[in-house]
Chain A
């Protein structure tokens, strides 16, 4: 980035110059080589797949038959994961960017980033072997809890307003992320102790039989709901981190202006901060989608891997990434199955690369806008 001074006037030390030229050349060659090697991935997949597509080794009909269920499964898994992850991540980002104290925030961010480091195989194991059978036994409780959690939080808010002001200060909204944890735990315990009674009252004693009879829904132990929660857990931290960056990067003067005009923090957020940060939040969701589409181990371990085409949250699916992981080691190089899986990998690559590029472009535009807003205000 800084050009060295012209050393031609110092003929005393030509070897230093030569060494410098040589090293610069080597660094450039090595750097370009490494970057080319990393980029070779896309080229390799294209080279493997394209000839087979054009010389007729692969019929379009076969491609359609083989890839449609897998593409469907991939999108379904990503959809359910995002349904769980996006509200959770955005809520957490909004809370920690705008309501938390600075000290608490500096603790909270690394903690939630720890979630991102959780290996997929561990999450998948817990989801597939521990959570899935448990949810199957406590289905009513789990579904009720999903409805009750938001209501319970609102109930807590209502109760909070009736508290004496000393308590209200101690249990302030800034710290609500912490003191709501035991409250939610209590709520969950209450729900699960009431669930059997509820099941008898509403569903004749067995929800799974009821689902089958009334709605024609089949319940598989490892299903889209489990995958959604597990993969949502895995992608939520990356969405959170990026959305939080976007929200807290909004120049402070904008919010201060709104506050000065008498807006509450939530009104400021909704009318001022959120619109300003919306491209960043969009980018965060895109990157999360990219991760959810490519996640292998969680889907492999928690989805049952049956190539079904349904939208039902209670049935399994087979995703492209899991299909590749299971089938590719057995496929003979050059065979039809091999090329099909290569095509699936190429599709994954192109999809994630495009999504990430879009997100990156949006983010860099946003950064420029923040600089402009911050400078001009």
Chain B
């Protein structure tokens, strides 16, 4: 058995609303798998079904070969979960949070105390082990949450928006922690809004939109399949007032976006666009000062597949208090 996670036609209805529509995928052992999608696409619902928090309406999910519904105790013994908000027990100490979680997993007293000490030291929380978690910063709570998820020597780690709402330092720390845990052999399933994060960390990503998987592949291959969103980025010395309209007239350009002092010309044929820009410059005297050809960015791929801009999603996410609430199914 090479798969750590297997989803087979996983489906979830909320009343008449189809939130997840026959989603299937396999995640190999030792893989970092990213799950991306706009708000309401079905990411959190999928993760809730995979972790046994919510029951699928149809379909099955397996964790290390164990059915999450009929062999839930076995499946859950092998996984750790870090939800999109840090659901620690704020009124008890970091130490007690970890020890309590270990007790839920049936870990013996000596082993759970050793493990709690190891994890608190690893996540630089040992000096604050006796402080109540409500006194901790968001980043520290996140680390407590990750420590709680690792207390059972889990084989599969689910991370729902692990870096959402954290400061830059905490984000970098958690990303490096994810890589480190993966090197130690942990299979990681993470949902994220951050495409750069998915691009940098994940071995493979799935893009989910309106409850259906739109694509599953490595970030690089997804980019390669999107030839139509290649682009040429050009900056002009003295751009004319109608520059955008004029660039749109170029035969091989499908659309033009202004980004700072640069213009991004989307095309499926960058060499021809380069010739057209040169002809345009000679004809109008509007000379380029820099030209770059760009492959499709991961954001382009996402937009193409979901029809939504990721920036829009991130802003919407930041506007939420405390991340995805239970009432806000994703």
| Binding between chains A and B | no
A interface vs B, CB < 8 Å? none
